[in-house]
Amino acid sequence: MTQIPASEYLINRELGILEFNRRVLAQAEDPATPLLERLRFLCITSSNMDEFFEIRVAGLKEQMRLNPEHVGAEGLTAKQVYKQVAKVSHNLVARQYELLNGDVLPALAAEGIRFHRRNHWTPEQADWIREFFFNELMPVLTPIGLDPAHPFPNVLNKSLNFAVELAGKDAFGRGSGKAVVQAPRSLPRVIQLPHEVSGCEHGFVFLSSILHAHVGALFAGMEVHGCYQFRVTRNSDLFIDDEENKNLRELLQGELPHRHFGDAVRLEVADNCSEEMKDFLLRQFHLTRDDLYQVRGPVNLVRLMNVPDKVERPDLKFPPFSPGMPAQLARQPDLFKAVTAGDILLHHPFQTFQPVVDFIRQAAEDPDVLAIKQTVYRTGTDSELMRHLIAAAQRGKEVTAVVELLARFDEEANINWAEKLEAAGAHVVYGVVGHKTHAKMAMVVRRENGKLKRYCHLGTGNYHARTARLYTDFGLLTCNPELCQDVNDVFQQITGLGDAGEHTYLWQSPFTMHARIIQAIREETERARRGEKAVIVAKMNALLEPRVIAALYEASQAGVQIDLIIRAVCALRPGIPGVSENIRVRSILGRFLEHHRIFYFLNGGEEVVYLASADWMDRNFFRRIETGFPVLDAKLKKRVINEGIKPYLKDNTKSWEMQPDGGYRRRARRGRGFEAQAFLLNLLAAKI
């Protein structure tokens, strides 16, 4: 096997994430994207960048503090990575606001959707806004003058705040010259004006503009010399000490409130902020100029995400669609009868998620069902599926829920569901210490003709009805005895204390999945060396694990044709002569978030197709409980190939091709345009 220097042939993860965010921002730049969706993509970019700083940049800062000499797999120290990250991030944010102010907002204004700036308010607008401030805002605002008795407040993570420069004395003779006003999170960041006041079809005003205009009312008798919005981003990773972990739920409940007050990692300020105030704020948060992001506009674009929902302009949004229903279920709504007749493949969001909900609902209501077991990673705060699980437990069925409490940013929702399930009599377990339970599995045990029979759902995505309309995922409903036995064994491992054992079909992390994938790659490599046709296609969110990358490089050198469809981060460099010239990497970004994981191996013509919950990352292979499951039915296997692989390889509209240096170029369109997601909507969605 070729020894490949990691520093030369691996791409840094943080820089790869920023490249992905560039591609997301490109959707907002694209004039072919409907206008209100362009605004939404700007907001998605901001949301992605928030998480990037909360987790990845926070991690870099921790490495710089605790282990500054450590060199990563790509040959860089944390400080070297951080310097590159800061440079790229500043450029990306600058482009984001340039696009907002110079392109998207003017285009919206031309369509009668205006964000009124305070220096352009009409007298009628100014009067309405003044009334709004005194009636709706001022009663809930708490100005904090800074002096020895009022030190700088503990600012919440990602909250909107205003730094105020003052002159004069207050009623007590105090005059520090500085104050902070914190905007409660309950307040909307964008206020819609009445049509008759706005003077246009849809008029909005930023909360920051309203407060800037009337901030003087909060400091009677003093003169306001400056008012600047600011926002701080904090380390939001939770630290759980396994040695101190006696009760994970109790530990998390105590830890979650501290997430809002972790160490600061980024400061965003308005472009009008004075140099003195910038330096003052940086000192308060122990940050440097590299951590400062000065923007021309709202410091939190994420809060504009709901603006498109407030505007009734279908012509400026993606066309509506109704997810399709598989033909088997349209003919036979009884899930157990339908699955007995044959495995059922669901392709979300093009096909409806409702059969998954119905699977648990029918199991809860069916007197012949004895037990239901399900993993819960992300399911949402208002989940019909969880309510059916609770109802099943209340009816006396054996309900086992494996709830992953450490699903990042969903911890509180999962704790709440765990408490409700336990109150209903369900068995709730929190997986295995040191391993997140990321597998997507549900199993129903039913008595039929005096015998017990298992039915299973396996998926690539979460049991979350809302994201099932936004993410591309596959789900499989089956009663295949061997596959269901494998699922049962995994549940037994998680809830009990036994050996891993051997599965007939399932690949499972942390035990067999990594080895099975390496083995499958090497088998294709050996076929290529024998002069046979050898093909690997893999679709996933991220590819980072070095040993898998090394195996793919070796396969490429042997002549295996490899296509990788990686939505976000890929540490492998394609197209390097003598190393990876037979590997092509593309990223598809469109209306829906590409999320399914598909592993295809030609296997000498006897095609092997696996679907999985896992990306090819260290954490998924070694620190998580994951499952990969084969598509055994020949027709369904062909469907996965024809729906999950071929359209994405053909896409020349939303496809980006990775270059050897880690950059991406939009795929050149030759001839007629083809968009995979549009093709699948036309193929699978219901006609409306």
pLDDT in tens, 445-479: 999 999 999 999 999 999 999 999 999 999 999 99
579: pLDDT confidence band, cut at 50, 70 and 90?
A: very high
Cis check: omega of the bond before 630, within 30 degrees of 0: no
Strand boundaries in 512-669, DSSP class E = 535-543, 561-570, 583-588, 593-594, 597-601, 608-612, 624-630, 655-658, 664-666
Strand boundaries in 235-343, DSSP class E = 264-270, 292-295
- Strands 398-403, 369-376: pairing kind: parallel
244: pLDDT confidence band, cut at 50, 70 and 90?
A: very low
- Say what the pLDDT of residue 242 is: 47
**pLDDT > 70? residue 680:** yes
Averaged over 151-178, what is the pLDDT? 86
Which is higher by pLDDT, 248 or 225? 225
- Say what the pLDDT of residue 2 is: 41
Percentage with pLDDT > 90 across the chain: 84
Indicate yes or no: pTM above 0.85. Answer: yes
Averaged over 135-148, what is the pLDDT? 89
Averaged over 9-25, what is the pLDDT? 96
H/E stretch holding 577: none
Cis check: omega of the bond before 510, within 30 degrees of 0: yes
**H helix runs in 316-399, sequence order:** 327-331, 335-341, 354-365, 384-394
**pLDDT > 70? residue 45:** yes
Angle 35-51/13-29 helices, nearest 10 degrees?
160
**pLDDT > 90? residue 573:** yes
Number of C-beta neighbours around residue 243 at 10 A: 5
Tens-place pLDDT, residues 383-441 = 999 999 999 999 999 999 999 887 777 788 888 999 999 999 999 998 887 899 999 99
Question: Rounded distance, CA 401 to CA 373, Å?
Answer: 6
- Contact (Cβ atoms closer than 8 angstroms) between residue 376 and residue 460: no
Percentage with pLDDT > 70 across the chain: 94
- Say what the pLDDT of residue 414 is: 86
Number of C-beta neighbours around residue 93 at 10 A: 21
250: pLDDT confidence band, cut at 50, 70 and 90?
A: low
174: pLDDT confidence band, cut at 50, 70 and 90?
A: low
Tens-place pLDDT, residues 508-519 = 999 999 999 999
Averaged over 35-48, what is the pLDDT? 97
> Which residues are marked as active site?
438
**pLDDT > 80? residue 150:** no
498: pLDDT confidence band, cut at 50, 70 and 90?
A: confident
- Say what the pLDDT of residue 1 is: 41
Tens-place pLDDT, residues 263-320 = 999 999 999 999 999 999 999 999 999 999 999 999 989 989 999 999 999 999 999 9
- Say what the pLDDT of residue 411 is: 80
- Say what the pLDDT of residue 452 is: 98
Number of C-beta neighbours around residue 126 at 10 A: 14
Average pLDDT for the chain: 93
Coil, helix or strand for 202?
strand
What residues contact 541, with CB distance under 8 A and at least 6 apart?
566, 567, 568, 594, 595, 597, 615
What number of helices (H) and strands (E) belong to the chain?
Answer: 24, 27
Structural domains in the chain, CATH included, are 1-111 (1.20.58.310), 120-305 (3.30.1840.10), 327-502 (3.30.870.10), 508-684 (3.30.870.10)
Question: Rounded distance, CA 363 to CA 443, Å?
Answer: 10
Averaged over 545-558, what is the pLDDT? 96
**pLDDT > 60? residue 618:** yes
Averaged over 522-545, what is the pLDDT? 98
Question: Rounded distance, CA 90 to CA 653, Å?
Answer: 28
Alpha-carbon distances, residue 326 vs 99, 401, 467, 473, 492 (angstroms) = 41, 27, 19, 15, 32
Which is higher by pLDDT, 611 or 170? 611
